[in-house]
Structure 1
Amino acid sequence: MLATQLDRLKQIIPAGRPVVYFDYAVYGNVGDLLIHKASDHFFQLNRNRILDAYNLQNYAKALNKRLPREAIIVFQGGGNLGDLYPRHDRLRFDVLRAFPDHRAVILPQTAYYENKRSARDTVQAYCGFENLTVCLRDRRSLDLFLEAGAERIELLPDMAHVLDGSAFVAAACNGARPVPHGDLNFMRQPWRIEDAQDEVCPFDLPTIEVWNWPEYLTEREKRRIRFARKLHRWDGKRVHSSLPWRLWRRSRDLILSRAVHFFAGHERIHTNRLHGGIFGLLCDRDIVFYDTGYGKLAGYYETWLSDDQRADFAGAVRRAEAVV
């Protein structure tokens, strides 16, 4: 189980130490919501009290605060370490500069930079924080930091695996019976216009259940997210309160419970969404991974899943017709 690989975190974030959590997701990427839930679960198991939590919309409120000396700053993991999502790097640097003397940890991330100079400069900037440990979830990301001379780095799987065997997943799977031979094609559109050329999707379009997470969400779930974002924006303009974070976690869990139940209802899942596959693995289903764009799924599969009998990798979608 990959959950045991994450036991290494207990040495990086010692049991019982309080944490201040940054950059949790308040948007429609359900995979990022799963990471947030798993991080909460880890803190609970490790007896780490969450003193406070901030997202992109209200983190500025934290920058002038005084944190307890023993508090550890923890940044959410995921796939936003790089120049595709500059706001998240900006948040991390703002917080690290505000609290240079505190131990800080970036939970497992995929690092990707389209611009090589940007990659070198940004990675070296992270390396300049003596109290920061960066956790990376594939070997290519790890190599990027090693080439920059990073020392406080760790290779760890995605935080979502912490939920493997948890009561939360068991309860959400309860009553979900997979349709015999029922495959789910949970696919994000795997090509950009500029990359299309002669590429043709091998799936019958009507069989594709979801192009992306926003298409998966129900209107009620979207309203919950809009309300939470509005509440966080309000919090960012006024005296900071834990209310937005606490209310949002309830909505997040409702969204995730339905997602787990949804994936548990299929025997095999074809997906080019990393957490589309991880949801399936948490439900003990067979997964066929496909890659898109910058190789995130290929890197993750090669690092952690190549020996898992439940998981197969089919290459890029345009090369995967044989397994469909």
Structure 2
Amino acid sequence: MSIKEKIYAVCVENKLLKKIYTSISYVKWKIYYKKNLVNPINEYKKSTKNPIFLIFTPEHANLGDHAIAYAESILLKKAGIKYYEITGKKLYELEQYGYLSILNHATILINGGGNLGILWPLIEKMNRAVITQNPDSKIYVFPNSIFYGNDDYGRKEFELSKKIYNNHKNLHLCARERISYDIMKDAYKSVELVPDMVFTLNESHDTLERNGCLWCMRNDVERTLSDEKEEKLKQQLVDIYGDDIKDSNTVLSYDVSVEKREEELKRKFNEFKLAQLIVTDRLHGMIFAVITGTNCIVINSKSPKMKGCYDWIKDLDYIAFIDDVENIDKIIDNFPDYPHEYDNKEFVKAIDKMISQIVV
């Protein structure tokens, strides 16, 4: 055991020493983050007339969230907006050590996704903290989904969020599908309906040889199919593709840094572009199929965000949205021949309109 470990062990056994040790440790880390996180932010604020922060971007394993941040970065740069990115990890560090208000008076852009409400309570808590501690900022919540449920806990949390959000004088929210829009429009002062950012990407231009099927299904609390229905679906695919069925996931087994974001996304897009068919109940499994021009069978999800976002692209003939797993062979036969050229122009136009308001 090292000297440092011995000191810690002694401190843990004594309440007073433990309190002193914790306080010293807190001060030490506060100084560290002041130097390595806060000072660079202050330097950026001093160097630009209208500082803009893109916050809550991912460093975790979910490529859907990374694709959202990637699309945001492309469109912001296209609009000539020079921004400073603060990931979710760094945002929590700012909040933990009392520096979150450093963003006040700047424009704050909160990363899009499915983060409003009680599904991800820590994220909602942070959203409230950002809004509360930066009262003089212009704040935009990029296209998001919302969920609070219908029980007492959900209603109580929703009322708290409404009070905090509506107390801010310059907060603007974007809903990425109609159900969330209707809920948010009734609750908040400034809301508009804007598609998921990832729809603005276009990865359909490369021609690759396609083979087999990618199985991109959830295995968590949002899982849609029962074991019996999943097995029935898989057997139909085996009858068509044999053993040329590969597992895929839009959530990796490892975290992805900002620096590796584009590389990992391109790798996943290429994986989709090499497949003849995607079968998925994941929102960004569907959207990745859309932007890569890949035939896709979308299994309706428990979450309304899936159907709501599908409505944006329901006219695409290479995306099939289903509620049951019958007659999969007929669905596949009805898909048009490759290649499929995805047209993202209307989505880019819609997002550009939203982004143009940021610099006003």
- TM-score, reference length from structure 2: 0.66
Relative to structure 1, the CA distance from residue 44 to residue 124 in structure 2 (aligned partners, 3 Å threshold; closer, same or farther) is same
Report the counterpart of residue 42 of structure 2 in structure 1.
Answer: none
Report the counterpart of residue 140 of structure 2 in structure 1.
Answer: 105
**CA–CA distance in structure 1, aligned partners of residues 122 and 104 of structure 2:** 26
RMSD: 2.9
Q: Quick one: which of 94, 115, 121 aligns to 1:61?
A: 94
Report the counterpart of residue 138 of structure 1 in structure 2.
Answer: 177
In the TM superposition, residue 156 of structure 1 has moved relative to its aligned partner by 0.7
Task: State whether structure 2 residue 194 is matched by structure 1 residue 156.
Answer: yes
Task: State whether structure 2 residue 347 is matched by structure 1 residue 322.
Answer: no
Relative to structure 1, the CA distance from residue 190 to residue 96 in structure 2 (aligned partners, 3 Å threshold; closer, same or farther) is closer
Q: Quick one: which of 186, 193, 201 aligns to 2:216?
A: 186
Report the counterpart of residue 53 of structure 2 in structure 1.
Answer: 20
In the TM superposition, residue 85 of structure 1 has moved relative to its aligned partner by 0.4
| Other structure's SS at 2:233 match | coil
Q: Greater Rg, structure 1 or structure 2?
A: 2
Report the counterpart of residue 4 of structure 2 in structure 1.
Answer: none
**Greater alpha carbon shift after TM alignment, 155-164 vs 54-63:** 54-63
**CA–CA distance in structure 2, aligned partners of residues 91 and 130 of structure 1:** 18
Report the counterpart of residue 302 of structure 2 in structure 1.
Answer: 293
Maintained 8 Å contact 2:214/2:247? no
- TM-score, reference length from structure 1: 0.72
Maintained 8 Å contact 1:190/1:292? no
Q: Quick one: which of 226, 247, 251 aligns to 1:210?
A: 247
Task: State whether structure 2 residue 205 is matched by structure 1 residue 200.
Answer: no
Runs (4 or more) in structure 1 with deviation over 6 Å come to 190-193, 195-198, 205-208
Relative to structure 1, the CA distance from residue 263 to residue 211 in structure 2 (aligned partners, 3 Å threshold; closer, same or farther) is closer
Relative to structure 1, the CA distance from residue 192 to residue 54 in structure 2 (aligned partners, 3 Å threshold; closer, same or farther) is closer
| Other structure's SS at 1:200 match | helix
Maintained 8 Å contact 1:191/1:293? no
| Other structure's SS at 1:204 match | helix
Relative to structure 1, the CA distance from residue 119 to residue 51 in structure 2 (aligned partners, 3 Å threshold; closer, same or farther) is same
Q: How does 1:45-124 map to 2 (within 5 A)?
A: 45-61=78-94, 63-64=99-100, 66-67=102-103, 69=105, 71-114=106-149, 115=151, 116-117=154-155, 118-124=157-163
* Structure 2: tracts of 5 or more residues without a match: 1-48, 330-360
Relative to structure 1, the CA distance from residue 286 to residue 120 in structure 2 (aligned partners, 3 Å threshold; closer, same or farther) is farther
Higher relative contact order (CA 8 A, sep 6+): 1
Instruction: Name whichever structure is richer in strand by fraction.
Output: 1
**CA–CA distance in structure 1, aligned partners of residues 159 and 299 of structure 2:** 29
**Greater alpha carbon shift after TM alignment, 37-46 vs 115-124:** 115-124
**CA–CA distance in structure 2, aligned partners of residues 292 and 54 of structure 1:** 28
The Cα offsets for residues 222-252 of structure 1, whole Å up to 9 and x where unpaired, read as 2xx2xx7xxxxxxxxxxxxxxxxxxx32211
Relative to structure 1, the CA distance from residue 287 to residue 190 in structure 2 (aligned partners, 3 Å threshold; closer, same or farther) is farther
Q: How does 1:32-43 map to 2 (within 5 A)?
A: 32-43=65-76
